[in-house]
Amino acid sequence: MRPTQAAFPATRLRRTRATPSIRALVAENTLTAGDLIWPLFVRDGDGIEEPVPSMPGVMRRSIDRVVEAAQEAADLGIPAICLFPYTSTENRTADCAEAWNPENLSNRATRAIKAAVPGITVMTDVALDPYSDTGHDGFVVDGEIVNDSTVAALVKQALSQAEAGVDIIGPSDMMDGRVGAIRTALEAHGYPNVMIMSYAAKYASAFYGPFRDAVGAANALKGDKKTYQMNPANTDEALRLIERDLSEGADMVMVKPGMPYLDICRRAKETFGAPTFAYQVSGEYAMIMAAAQNGWIDRERAMLESLMCFKRAGCDGVLTYFAPEVARILAKG
C-alpha cells in the first residue's frame, strides 16, 4: 500500500524540483545512447548520400556510406543499426525473389558492416514490400494479401539474412505464424543464436508515409495494409499478438508507431516483462522536423523529450532516426 502523503505544507513537492542537481537525483528514468537503434536506408552505388525529401536530415546511403554510418554509430555508443533497402524498380517483382537473393542490397550491406564494424549489432527487416511490385508486405492473389505462401517466402528471406550475418531479424510483415516459422528454420539451419525482434503490435498507420517515400514503395502501394496491420482502435489485440509472438520464439517485441501508442508500450511491458521496443516512425520524425524548421518548436528539446517518454512508458529502447544526433547531445552531457 502507498503511504498517505503528508498534507501541505509538510509536503511541498516543488522541493525536489528546485535545482538541476536535485532534479537529476530524483529522476526516475534516463535516456542513454545505449537505448537507441538507428534505422538506415541503403541504396545502390558508391559514395552516395541522397537526401530523403520527406525526412529532412535522413539519407539513402550506398553501402560504403552505410559502413561509415555504422562506424559512426559504434563511436557514439549506439548499440544497433537497422537496415532498410531502397530496391531498384527492376528488382521489384511479383515473385519478390530479390528478397532472398544472397547478393541483395541488405545482405551485401550486412556483410560489409560485419567485416568493418564487427562490434555493432545489425538488425534487418523481414517483409516483402521493398521487393514487390504491389508495395504490399505479402504476396497478392486476386486482391488478397495471402498469409501462408507469404510466410514461406519470409522464411527464405530471413534465412538469407541470417546467412549474411545479421544479429536481429525484424519481421515487420504482420502475417500470422511467421515468427514460429522463422524460429524453426533458424534452428534447423544452424542459426540458433540469431535473435528475432518481432514487430508484434504494428498498426495500420498514416505515420509511415515518409518511410514509404524513403524506400520507394509509396507509388507502388495500391490500397492499404488494414488486413494485416492493426486497427488503431485496439489494445487487447496488441497484447494477444505480443503473447503469440513471444510464445513462437521472439526474443524482443516492438510497438509501432511510437508516441501515439505509449499506452500499448506500457501494457506490453507490464504484462510480459519482455524486452520491449518502440519504433519512432518516419512520420513522427517528420512532424518534429517540420515544426522545428518552421520555428514552431525547439527541435533538440522535442527530440529528447519524445525519446525520454518511451523510457517512461516502459520501453527498453527505441528505433529512431534521431539516434546519432541524440547520442552526440547526450555525449556532451
Applying CB under 6 A, the residues found at the interface with ligand PBG are: 125, 127, 129, 137, 172-173, 208, 211-212, 225, 281-282
Measured distance CA(147)–CA(249) in Å, rounded: 19
Alpha-carbon torsion (125, 130, 136, 141), positive or negative: negative
Determine whether 225 is an active site residue.
no
Closest distance of CB 125 from ligand PBG, Å = 5
Nearest distance in Å: CB 126, ligand PBG: 8
Give the Cα separation of 129 and 158 in Å (integer). 14
Nearer to ligand PBG, 190 or 232 (CB): 232
**CB distance 180 to 256 below 8 Å:** no
Q: Is the peptide bond before 9 cis (omega within 30 degrees of 0)?
A: yes
Name the residue number minimizing CB distance to ligand PBG: 211
Q: In the beta sheet, which residues pair with residue 51? A: 59
Shortest distance, CB of residue 163 to ligand PBG, whole angstroms?
Answer: 21
Given a contact cutoff of 8 angstroms between Cβ atoms, the answer to whether 325 and 73 are in contact is no
Closest CB to ligand PBG among residues 283, 314:
283
Nearer to ligand PBG, 319 or 327 (CB): 319
Give min distance, CB of 129 to ligand PBG, in A: 5
Find the shortest distance in angstroms from Cβ 37 to ligand PBG: 12
Looking only at the bridges linking them, the beta strands covering 80-85 and 49-51 are: unpaired
Residue 116 or 287: the one with the smaller Cβ distance to ligand PBG is 287
Between CA 120 and CA 81 the distance in angstroms is 7
Nearer to ligand PBG, 167 or 173 (CB): 173
Query: By the 8 A CB rule, do 107 and 101 touch?
Result: yes
Catalytic residue, candidates 202, 225, 269, 311: 202
**CA pair distance 149, 127, nearest whole angstrom:** 13
Identified catalytic residue from 225, 256, 269, 311: 256
Nearer to ligand PBG, 164 or 318 (CB): 318
* Spatial separation of the C-alpha atoms in residues 156 and 171, rounded to whole Å: 12
CA 198 to chain centre: 10
**Peptide bond connecting 232 to the previous residue in cis, omega within 30 degrees of 0:** no
CA distance 242 to 272: 8
Active site residue 332: no
**Min dist. Cβ of residue 188 to ligand PBG (A):** 25
Residues annotated catalytic, as ranges: 202, 256
